[in-house]
Amino acid sequence: MLYTKLEKQSLNQMPNAREFWLGTKRLPQTIEVATPGSICAILIKKQGDFPDFWHNDASFIETMEELYQRVKTKNHQF
């Protein structure tokens, strides 16, 4: 797995409470819609089809993929 290397940044002065909690830069007025991932339930698939905690005869991956799909489409009409 690749991780971004952390970089230390020095502060010229300590931020006040307002700057600490609200930041000093304005947030964008619009947010881009994320594109759906190409692999459904990738984190679940890394654990395998029958992880130690899964005490069911049904496939854990198939069960979780169905759950992910239901969650993704539940409020899609709104």
Judge whether 19 lies within some domain: no
Number of domains in the chain: 1
Domain of residue 49, residue span: 38-78
Judge whether 46 lies within some domain: yes
**Tens-place pLDDT, residues 29-75:** 888 887 776 666 677 778 788 888 889 899 988 888 888 888 888 87
Judge whether 65 lies within some domain: yes
Judge whether 23 lies within some domain: no
Judge whether 16 lies within some domain: no
Q: How confident is residue 1, by pLDDT bands cut at 50, 70 and 90? A: low
CB-neighbour burial class of residue 45 (10 A; exposed 0-12, middle 13-18, buried 19+)? middle
Judge whether 72 lies within some domain: yes
Q: Taking a C-beta distance cutoff of 8 angstroms, is the pair 28, 38 a contact?
A: no
**Tens-place pLDDT, residues 26-40:** 888 888 887 776 666
Judge whether 70 lies within some domain: yes
Judge whether 48 lies within some domain: yes
Q: What is the dihedral of CA 38, 39, 40, 44, to 10 degrees?
A: -150
Give the pair of three-digit tokens for residue 2.
């690749």
Predicted TM-score (pTM) of the model is 0.44
